[in-house]
Amino acid sequence: MLSLASFTSRRILCIRHYCKKTPTKLRVSEAISGSNLGANIKIQGWVRSVRPQKKNLFLHVNDGSSLQSLQIIATFCCSQIRLLTFGCAVEVTGLLKQSPNQKQPVELEADKIRVVGECNPLDFPFKIKERHAVEYIRQFPHLRCRTNAFSSLLRIRSEATAAIHSYFKKNGFVQIHTPIITSNDCEGAGELFAVQPQRPENDVDEKFFSVPAFLTVSGQLHLEVMSGAFSKVYTFGPTFRAENSQSRRHLAEFYMVEAELSFTQSIEDLTEVMEDIFKSSTEYVLAQCAEDVALFHKHVSPGHRVSSKGMTYSEAVDILNRSSQNFVFPTEWGCDLQKEHEKYLVKHCGNIPVFVTDYPYDLKPFYARDNQDHPEHTAAAVDLLVPGVGELCGGSLREERLDLLRTRLEEVGLEDAYSWYLDLRRFGSIPHGGFGLGFERYLQCILGVDNIKDVIPFPRFSHSCLL
């Protein structure tokens, strides 16, 4: 054990003094890369472990630049070792050396260790050697980024976001910031959040926007506006549903990737892009965050297999009806596919992603393109079902024929509300289609994370809006 007595009372634990040029400030990931061996460096981060040995003190310091921490070795005695605790912030300078230990390639032989911010381990809710349940960690949204798993998740989420933007940019899509506050209700129904200024109660009747305003449930219709001037557009941002559910599958605020393609004539044009995004993003994330992803795959079963299968809704109904499984929900033609059905279909196909196309016309919203097939009557819509998650993407060709669209809007009494939408068909209408991909579900799928609340920095759901 180290002698506690020989420490000074100052927070600067400065022991071996010798002249050196100013140390190079490195991130932990840069230090670990090994390209700075022999350099005098400075790193800053948080202590992940403290191991005093007979002669030496070992620390592991992490700064969020990688899952790995840098091993620090202090070959000197020090008092006030009590400040060097799990969770404290430190600044360390010293010599970056090859490590004699196989477990890490390099280590930092410290000259100087400065505790920048203390951390009382008795008060800190995460304990150094305990493996906390995700449910426990979730109670501390302001601290959970300090756990290995969640900091890995956040790096992966950041890289996956970059991967998706990069895919679209490379393929000539224009990014559109579709609005968050909207006076449209894309699905024609659904559980909306209303928006109004926080004001004294007597003022509540006066509308800020003059019209009722809601949080968006989809940027699709706004993207369709843009698909009247650009051949390819996309949006990637937050969407909202006021669903009264605390299930592991629902969030009130979640991220959607939505794309709209002009001059698109077939569902295959859409499924090709969906598959491309899935594959290219997943390859990118695996390449950029191999170590972080491995942490998840150590504990969970990943589902990032990228081969896929396709079937029509009618074929799917046949498969369900031929199955020996007893479903809770009906499997007749015309009924929507439920979670249990989706799960069965994915399993039936060997646990790979499955495209289901051509859904009953009556199940789909007004904008879905009429296949004009009889007697079935389907719409050119497609869902992508994936293992563990169920529906990952949903898309359709959009009804570009003015007369058909107008008739359908009239049937549901929406022709006035969507007069602007009909304008898009009045003036230079084009065949087009698009889809949405649930970004959190995508992360769940490739990482095998069970609860959607664990793949978003600050989950919002029924009865919970922490911070």
Interactions with its own copies, residue window 351-390 (CB under 8 A): none
Confirm or reject binding of residue 44 to its own copies (CB under 8 A). yes
Q: Which of 393, 372, 374 is nearest to 382 (CA)?
A: 393
Q: How far apart are CA 240 and CA 221, in angstroms?
A: 15
164/311 with CB nearer its own copies = 164
Token code pair at residue 134: 């995700």
Q: Are strands 24-25 and 12-14 parallel, antiparallel or unpaired?
A: unpaired
55 class by beta-carbon count within 10 Å (0-12 exposed, 13-18 middle, 19+ buried): exposed
Span 179-208, contacts to its own copies by CB under 8 A? 179-184, 191-198, 208
Span 67-96, contacts to its own copies by CB under 8 A? 87-89, 91
Q: How far apart are CA 301 and CA 310, in angstroms?
A: 24
Rounded to a whole number of angstroms, the minimum distance from the CB of residue 391 to its own copies is: 21
Rounded to a whole number of angstroms, the minimum distance from the CB of residue 214 to its own copies is: 7
**Residue 362 carries which DSSP code?**
G
Find the Cα–Cα–Cα–Cα dihedral 100, 102, 107, 109, rounded to 10°. Answer: -30
> Residue 164, SS3?
helix
Instruction: List phi, psi (to 5°) of 150.
Output: -75, -30
Which range touches its own copies (CB under 8 A), out of 72-80, 97-105, 302-310, 450-458? Answer: 450-458
Angle, in degrees to the nearest 10, between helices 439-447 and 290-299: 70
Span 219-238, contacts to its own copies by CB under 8 A? 221-222, 225-226, 228-231, 237-238
Among 142, 298, 322, 374, binds its own copies (CB under 8 A): 142
CB contact set of 376 (below 8 Å; sequence gap of 6+): 314, 333, 360
Q: Are strands 390-398 and 378-386 parallel, antiparallel or unpaired?
A: antiparallel
136/263 with CB nearer its own copies = 263
163/317 with CB nearer its own copies = 163
CB contact set of 378 (below 8 Å; sequence gap of 6+): 312, 313, 314, 358, 359, 360, 361, 371
152/378 with CB nearer its own copies = 152
Rounded to a whole number of angstroms, the minimum distance from the CB of residue 211 to its own copies is: 6
Span 318-357, contacts to its own copies by CB under 8 A? none
213/356 with CB nearer its own copies = 213
Rounded to a whole number of angstroms, the minimum distance from the CB of residue 426 to its own copies is: 7
Among 50, 154, 352, 414, binds its own copies (CB under 8 A): 154
Rounded to a whole number of angstroms, the minimum distance from the CB of residue 172 to its own copies is: 6
Confirm or reject binding of residue 124 to its own copies (CB under 8 A). yes
Which range touches its own copies (CB under 8 A), out of 11-19, 279-287, 377-385, 453-461? Answer: 453-461
